[in-house]
Every structure is written in structure tokens, then in C-alpha cells.
Amino acid sequence: MRWLCLTVLLLQGGIVLAGPAEDREAFRAFFEKRFRNIPVDAHVDGAYALDAAKREQWLAMEDFPPYEFTVDDGRMLFEEPLADGSTYGDCFENDGAVKHLYPQYDTVRGEVITLEMAINDCRIEAGEAPYPYDGEEIIQLTAYMAFVSRDNLIDVKVPREAEPAYNAGKQYYYSRRGQLNFACSHCHLQMSGMKLRAETLSASIGQVSHWPTYRLKWQETGPLHRRFARCNQQVGAESLPFQSEVYRNVEYFMTVMANGMPINGPATRK
């Protein structure tokens, strides 16, 4: 009886949050309805799933992908022995093909661990200094690990202890921010498929599948959190440091929404 009363009170207050599985179902249903002629999993290609002409140009570019050297450099780094003689292969199974399993929630540390953090944990354990999160080595390594993880389906778990982190990421994603008063969801849910100047706004679902990404605007391969920071700045909000707790939680939420979709990173985007 007490639980029933509490549930009624919570419902009245409008503070009941759906769980990750229900969220993902509703998320997929939203895009199925919005883009009836496009299979949901095709959104891993971002705006190129929505614009046939641009897709053609993009596919031509993929013949000689600009991120190729980054992947090659990442492979060399991955195979190089660390200070104690171990390699990254000792930390990551399947020769590093684990991108689809990150981010993970570490119940002992009580926080979301991204692939970048796991790489640095591996380095510290081997007696090496951690890489800076905006440095090229971590991008090379994650580019290589994304490459060898291609076609693996994203499978990120949300244990019960992780729900506060998941919900924090979810709240951030849907909250208006900055002087322009935009939430991430305004561009990538409500206005997905529409034009922002000459660019088509990609759908939110599957956006995490292809990082790190070579952006023509950057003229280099960069991490997902760099894109988060730029999104913040574009709406006039102060951005946060790469791998900050907030950005890791947002990545966690977005990746859970993309569960079941294939990894296709690294990629090229405008």
C-alpha cells in the first residue's frame, strides 16, 4: 500500500523516469516515425543517410579516407610494448575490437569509463604516463580500435548502480542551454532531417557509432567530446573539458540509445 501511494505521488509530481530499455524503444520509435523510408540502423551514417547526393560524394571520399593514416598510426601504437613489456592487447580483448562495449559503468569507481579513459588506465597500470585527451595519440589509438571494431553491434549495459549517471546524461541531452536556448534534442530530434543553413541535421540515433571522426572543418581526426564542446559553443553555452563527468554521462546515454547498431568508425564528416 505504501509503495502504491508513493508511486501515485511520484506520477502526480511528474518525476517518474523511464528506464534505459523503455527510453531506447521510444527513441527508435521516434525516428522510425519521423523517417519512414529510412531504416533506423541506417542513421549510423548521420546526415548521409538522409541526403542521397551528399551520400554519393561521401562514399566517393571513403575510397581514400582521410583518417587512414590515423588508423595506421594507431595500429603501431597499439602493438608497441609499454613500459612493463605489456601491450594494449593485454588490457583489451579481441585485439582491441572492443569499441562497441564502451562506455562502461565501473561500479567500484562509481563512474562512466570511456574507451579513452580505459586506454589511459591501461597505460598507468603499465607504468606509463596517461595521454592528454586532446592529444593525437589517444585519437590514433581509438581510431584504430574503432576500425577493428567495425560491424560489431553496440552493446552497452546499464547496471542499476549506473542509473544516476545514465539519467544525468539524459537530462543534459534534453535540457535547453546557452544564449540560443537550445537542447541537443532540438537539433537532432525535433529538427533532424531539416536544414541549418546548407547542412542537413543528422538524427541523434547512431551518432556515437563513428567516432573518432575526420571532420573536414577540423582538417583532422577528432574525438566525440570535441564535437560536444563545439555543439555547446554553437548555442552560446560554456563548453566542458574532454572526458569531464558530464560529457562521459552524455556519451553513455547516447550510446545506450544506439545499442544494437553497428560500429562504423572512424568516419568522415563535414
Partner 1 sequence: MRRAIIFTVLYGWCLAAAAEMTTAEINVQIAAARALYEEAKSGHHAWIATRRLLEDAEAALDEGDRAAAEILAQRAYKTAAASVAQMQREKTAWQKRVPGN
What does the alpha-carbon distance between residue 134 and residue 215 come to, in Å, rounded to a whole number?
A: 15
Q: Does 171 bind partner 1 (CB under 8 A)?
A: yes
β-pair partners for 153:
262
Helices assigned H by DSSP within 35-188: 52-61, 68-79, 88-91, 115-125, 136-148, 163-174, 184-185
What does the alpha-carbon distance between residue 149 and residue 143 come to, in Å, rounded to a whole number?
A: 10
CB 185 within 8 A of CB 239: no
The residue (of 139 and 261) whose beta carbon lies closer to partner 1 is 261
Q: Does 246 bind partner 1 (CB under 8 A)?
A: yes
Which range, of 27-35, 37-45, 109-117, 153-161, touches partner 1 by CB under 8 A? 27-35
Place of cell 545499442: 259
Contacts with partner 1, 180-199, as mask; x by CB under 8 A: -x-x-xx--xx---------
Q: Does 219 bind partner 1 (CB under 8 A)?
A: no
What does the alpha-carbon distance between residue 136 and residue 74 come to, in Å, rounded to a whole number?
A: 10
Q: Does 111 bind partner 1 (CB under 8 A)?
A: no
Q: Does 32 bind partner 1 (CB under 8 A)?
A: no
Q: Looking at 122, 184, 187, 231, which residue is catalytic?
A: 231
Q: Does 7 bind partner 1 (CB under 8 A)?
A: no
Ramachandran class of 193: left when φ > 0, alpha when ψ lies in -120 to 50, beta otherwise: left
Q: Does 242 bind partner 1 (CB under 8 A)?
A: no
β-pair partners for 195:
200
User: Residue type for 53, please?
Assistant: A
The residue (of 30 and 147) whose beta carbon lies closer to partner 1 is 30
Q: Does 25 bind partner 1 (CB under 8 A)?
A: yes
The residue (of 102 and 253) whose beta carbon lies closer to partner 1 is 253
What does the alpha-carbon distance between residue 266 and residue 144 come to, in Å, rounded to a whole number?
A: 8
Nearest-10 crossing angle of helices 136-148, 68-79: 90
Q: Specify whether 91 is catalytic.
A: no
Q: Does 179 bind partner 1 (CB under 8 A)?
A: yes
User: For partner 1, how many residues bind (rule: CB under 8 A)?
Assistant: 32
Q: Does 236 bind partner 1 (CB under 8 A)?
A: yes
Question: Where does this chain bind partner 1 (CB under 8 A)?
Answer: 14-15, 17-18, 22-23, 25-27, 29-30, 170-172, 174-179, 181, 183, 185-186, 189-190, 233, 236-238, 240, 246
Catalytic amino acids? 231
